[in-house]
Amino acid sequence: MEENVKTAAGPERVPAVRMEGITKSFGMKKANINVDLDIYHGEILSLLGENGSGKTTLMNMLSGIYFPDSGSIYVDGKPVSIRSPKDAFDLHIGMIHQHFKLVNVLTAAENVILGLKEGFVLNLKKVRSEVKKICERYGFDVDPDKKVYDMSVSEKQTLEIIKVLYRGADILILDEPTAVLTPQETTRLFEVMRNMKKDGKSIVIITHKLHEVMEISDRVAVLRKGEYVGDIMTDETDPQQLTDMMMGRAVTLNIERSEPKNVRKCLEVSHLSVIDTDGVKKLDDVSFTANGGELLGIAGISGSGQKELLEVIAGLQPAVGGSSVVYTDMDGKTSTLLGRTPMEIKKLGVHLAFVPEDRLGMGLVGNMDIADNMLLRTYQDGGGVFVDMKKSRKLAEEIVQEFDVVTPGISTEVRKLSGGNVQKILVGREIAGNPSLLMSAYAVRGLDINTSYTIYRLMNEQKQRGAAVIYVGEDLDVLLELCDRILVLCAGRVSGIVDGRTATKEQVGLMMTRLSEAEAAK
């Protein structure tokens, strides 16, 4: 594979930053092995790699969060030692972290000035006018006196960028900046990035989304399992080649979709309405059927009621009177799920598996190890006073083995694993008992291509087994390739159910943003 990779660096240019032979380990785990990387002035560089390939770790060593075990860093040709974030600022390097580094109870201006030595007495007036200047220059819109806890995700990200620019950064590192943004916000961010590039700044964007790499960057550098694979100019490559570089082997980008077999009615939802604690109607008269042996996709702009829908079915939220959720088992016996707790639903004999959006909040317990997390599903089985540790250990071993979970062992706390591995454990546990109904929300969010495809395959397998699978997704291309039918939600209402094989992306996209004429007339 490597011999196909062209090196894009010309010998005549002095890189703004050169990293040479960087190695970093955490305990036994090597996060970066002998990595070389150049960053040039006035370019947008994509740092591409799967989850856990060491992209963030490498950049954290530039921003002073980590210190390399070995290797050297040069800024404008001079060797430097970056021991703390302060050192990085002094070298005009600034990083926008994936998990925002903002203090919630402080205002935008206070966050900007945080940690700076600008006199003993706070001069917020000066900060405000500086922030306004930066906003005007690059086209941002941020109120300096707004508290961070009142901000939307995209406002927080903007604030992070302003913070870095205020400190005079010439090299900006953005760690998966689009993971939390809507498509419109992403477009705006890319515009800002282009503005900054025009201004002569170097920008590194850490990502694993190939279409973004192709759209925004001038050059791509690829990491695989902590090692540097190579770099290539964006206009000389294509997604397939980049995927191969990331994976180290050729990967097909097609999702397998089998024909539904033995379709039977499994779950019937009718006239379902949900009102949240603030009195806002989250779901409005939703009706649909989910069938065993079929994969039902749910599309919609984030926050259109997807979360509420799944949680009502799982027994985690109450619904308004007049709603009904009826489950039909293999023998045709029906039982209603509404008004029952998850435990009562389980006791009914309904094997319901739920992969929630919030993996470490609702799905798994971060501070418990892999084996103990298995117990969360089965601790009440057996009926005795003692829990069956052996079984959960065995299941944990099996999941680690089967799904290639990268972990030092099953006694490792889940929070220490990377996002993809966490999701594998969660999905593995949920499908372990052969569920009759499998619900998943944003199952591939934040996952790399390889893990995503594993998840798609698992969903498909459950469907072939006869389970009713409900898949809430955000990537329309995937939904159209994976699902048999797609239910489109718009502001808590069903704007239609389409066939996954015949529908087009434009059609679904339109339905997501406005109700069809007939629906709207109701």
Partner 1 sequence: MGTFFDKIITLLTSAVAFGTVVMYGSLGEILTEKSGHLNLGVPGIMYMGGIGGLLGSFFYEMYVPSPDPTLCLLIAIGAALVCSVLGGLIYSFLTVTLRANQNVTGLTLTIFGSGLANFFGGSLNKLAGGVGQISVAVTSGAIRATQPLTDNLVKTLSASGSGFVRFLGSVMDVLDRLLFSYGFMVYLALVIAILLSLFMNRTSKGLNLRAVGEDPATADAAGINVTRYKYLSTCIGAAISGLGGLYYVMDYIKGTWANDGSIEALGWLAVALVIFATWKPLRSIWGAYLFGALYWLYNYIPGLSRSSQEIFKMLPYIVTIIVLITVSLRHKREDQPPTSLGMSYFREDR
Residues forming contacts to partner 1 in the complex (CB under 8 A) are: 26, 63, 65-66, 84-86, 89, 95, 97, 101-106, 110, 113-122, 147, 149, 163, 416
Q: Which is nearer to partner 1, 107 or 207 (CB)?
A: 107
Judged by beta carbon, residue 26 or residue 379, the one nearer partner 1 is 26
* Helix orientation angle between 370-378 and 419-431, rounded to the nearest 10 degrees: 30
How far is 428 from 140, CA to CA, in rounded Å? 43
In angstroms, the CA 464 to CA 262 distance is 9
Q: How far is the CB of 308 from partner 1 (least distance, A)?
A: 23
Dihedrals phi, psi of 178, to nearest 5 degrees: -90, -5
Of 57 and 495, the one with the shorter C-beta distance to partner 1 is: 57
164: nearest Cα among 31, 62, 53, 39: 62
Q: Return the number of the residue (41 or 416) whose C-beta is nearest partner 1.
A: 416
Return the number of the residue (31 or 246) whose C-beta is nearest partner 1: 31
Helix (H, G, I), strand (E, B) or coil at 486: strand
User: If you write DSSP's letter for every residue of 294-305 in order, what string do you get?
Assistant: -EEEEE-STTSS
- Least distance from partner 1 to the Cβ atom of residue 399, Å: 21
> Which residue, 97 or 463, has its beta carbon nearer to partner 1?
97
CB of 104 to partner 1, least distance (A): 7
H-helix or E-strand spanning residue 128:
helix 124-138
Closest contact distance (angstroms) between CB of 81 and partner 1 is 15
CB of 174 to partner 1, least distance (A): 14
- Site of tokens 């117990």: 375
**At its nearest, how many Å lie between partner 1 and the CB of residue 160?**
10
Q: Report which residue type is found at 322.
A: G
Outline where DSSP puts E strands in 208-351: 219-224, 227-233, 264-275, 281-292, 295-299, 324-328, 334-336
Q: Would you say 69 or 402 has its CB closer to partner 1?
A: 69
Shortest reach from residue 96's CB to partner 1, in Å:
10
Angle at 112 between CA 108 and CA 113, to 5 degrees: 125
Q: Which residues contact 269 (CB under 8 A, 6 or more apart)?
A: 286, 287, 288, 289, 290, 309, 313, 324, 325
Question: CA dist 42 to 74, 170, 174, 272, Å?
Answer: 17, 9, 15, 54
DSSP designation for 369: B
* Residue 357 CB, nearest approach to partner 1 (Å): 22
Question: Residues 366, 420: contact at Cβ < 8 Å?
Answer: no
Pick 91 or 269: Cβ nearer partner 1: 91
C-beta of 163: minimal distance to partner 1 in Å? 8
Nearer to partner 1, 145 or 238 (CB): 145
**Dist. CA 452–CA 420, nearest whole Å:** 8
Q: How far is the CB of 75 from partner 1 (least distance, A)?
A: 17
Q: In angstroms, rounded to a whole number, what is the distance separating the alpha carbons of residues 296 and 298? A: 7
Query: Which residue has 């006196």 as its token pair?
Result: 145
Residue closer to partner 1, measured from CB, 103 or 253: 103
Q: How many residues does the chain have?
A: 522
